[in-house]
Amino acid sequence: MVINVIAWLVLGLIAGAIAKAIYPGHQGGGIFATIGLGILGAMVGGWLGNLFLGTTAGATAGALSIPSVIFAIIGALVLLFLWGLFTRRAA
């Protein structure tokens, strides 16, 4: 149980940091926002992977593997894009 939480935090940090580095422009938030972005990105990426590819590589809890990191980064990029759309309209 504890190892799964640690794996999700590490996955979130890695995926969130890579997504923020890839996505153009400046995104606010500190380390906790980056971890949260990566964890939510892993959930979104796992859902998208299951929807389009029929795989659960991004959704397996505690599995810190290359496919799970890739799905988490894709999900985090989708979330950053949607957040940018939402904040641009509000401004």
- The confidence score (pLDDT) of residue 90 equals 57
Structure tokens at 90: 């509000």
- The confidence score (pLDDT) of residue 50 equals 76
Question: pLDDT tens string for the chain (91 positions)?
Answer: 777 777 777 888 888 888 888 888 777 777 788 878 888 888 888 777 778 777 665 445 456 678 778 888 888 888 888 887 887 765 5
> Measuring CA to CA, which residue among 29, 11, 28 is closest to residue 75?
11
Domain that holds residue 7: 2-90
Distance of alpha carbon 61 from alpha carbon 31, whole angstroms: 21
Domain count, the chain: 1
- The confidence score (pLDDT) of residue 55 equals 66
Place of tokens 């190892």: 3
Residue partners of 28: CB distance under 8 A and separation at least 6: none
Phi/psi for 75 (5° steps) reads -60, -40
